[in-house]
Amino acid sequence: MDKRKELLSGEIISPPTITDHISLVELVERTFLSYNAGRLREACQVYTQKMLKEEVTIGVSLAGALTPSGLGVSCLVPLMEKGFIDWIVATGANLYHDIHFALGLQLRQGSPFCDDAVLRREGVVRIYDIVFDYRVLLKTDAFLKNVFSNKEFQKEMGTAELHYMLGKYLNQEEEGRGTKSSSILAAAYRLAIPVYTPSPGDSSIGMNVAALALIGNELKIDVNLDVNETAAIVYGAKQVGGKSGLIIIGGGSPKNFLLQTEPQIQEVLGLSEIGHDYFIQITDARPDTGGLSGATPSEAISWGKVNPEGLPDTVVAYLDSTIALPIITAYVLNKSTTREQKTLYEKRVQLQEALKRDYLKKRD
């Protein structure tokens, strides 16, 4: 094939007329053809056609105020229950606001044009166009303090164990209210999906842990354990001939924590690896400012984070996550059958021991 013919080998742009009975799958596949719509279509296809194979371990990172808008309930929990997410890295804030739903505390639609001085005076909190009673925070804090005061929390642990144990209590709250599948953490407990937070002190969950430390509570968070456990998840997947796929919603610290598993394996531990195999990101961050949130998968190759051979299976869509995630979820649920749960929470100790064993061999 000559170069000209190769350059003009793409599908002809000829979408159908949209009618009142078009399905979401057909809408994505036949009318999302160019620009960020095209990238969103490619993300849906990489997810369903490549990442949902049994040998792929799928990590998801969550940044930005996703759970307050209901995306945990509407999108993430259904994906988790279908086996389409194997492990999660999230900001503590996303997990804190997730707790409101399990506790039956109400967040409401509001306006981004409120007088915030009036909101403060009336005891109303605002997240852009979401509003809720200030007592939602106080009730959630009281729940956390009560749970974290229990005997099983009086030790040092990683955030996966912290969130798993917290999820047990949230699952009980859901069962008591008859509202199963309202919380990411409760679902993660039921499905044995490990959930990590890269900066545990940077949220109201961490703030409550810190407050309890002032009165002698012995709960401590081991961030070293989190770094090694997440690296072990990726290393373990690759060691048995599997692949690693990443879905990055937003950017920030969760994106880095998800991606840094490969530099931890290669650069720091000195073990042989070639990078993550699949990479989907939804972001509104630009790459030219130098921040990680907007950094491209091709740049990640230079760090060893992404397998160079996997570059064709990397997609970045510059979109609002609150628009893209529901479309991706609906598409994937329509196109794919249930996948067996990997229950990585139950395997994380074994995976870390295997990583440690190979690291010690390398050092000898």
Segment (H or E) for 280 = strand 278-283
Which pairing describes strands 124-127 and 130-133: parallel, antiparallel, or unpaired?
Answer: antiparallel
φ and ψ at residue 26, rounded to 5 degrees: -65, -40
In this prediction, residue 310 carries a pLDDT of 82
Q: Where are the alpha helices (DSSP H) in 149-260?
A: 159-177, 184-191, 204-213, 223-239, 252-259
Q: DSSP 3-state helix, strand, coil percentages of the chain (rounded to 5)?
A: 55, 15, 30
The predicted model scores a pTM of 0.95
Cα dist from 162 to 73, 159, 234, whole Å: 21, 5, 21
Q: What is the pLDDT of residue 1?
A: 60
Tell me: the pLDDT tens digits for 239-263? 999 999 999 999 999 999 999 999 9
Positions in the chain whose pLDDT score sits under 50 = none
Which residues participate in catalysis according to the annotation? 305
Residue 288: how many CB atoms within 10 A of its CB? 6
User: In what side-by-side order are the strands of the sheet with 130-133?
Assistant: 108-109, 130-133, 124-127
- Pairwise CA distance, residues 145 & 140, whole Å: 9
- Tally Cβ neighbours within 10 Å of residue 322: 16
Q: Which residue has the tokens 């506790």?
A: 103
Domain boundaries, the chain: 20-358
Residue 234, sorted as left (phi over 0), alpha (psi -120 to 50) or beta, turns out to be: alpha
- Residue 231: closest CA among 209, 206, 254, 258: 258
The letter for the amino acid at 312 is: P
Q: How many CB atoms lie within 10 A of CB 36?
A: 16
Please tell me the distance from the alpha carbon of residue 355 to that of residue 266, in angstroms, as a whole number. 12
Q: Which CATH class is domain 20-358?
A: alpha beta
Model pLDDT for residues 315-345, shown as the tens digit of each residue: 999 999 999 999 999 999 999 999 999 999 9
SS3 330: helix
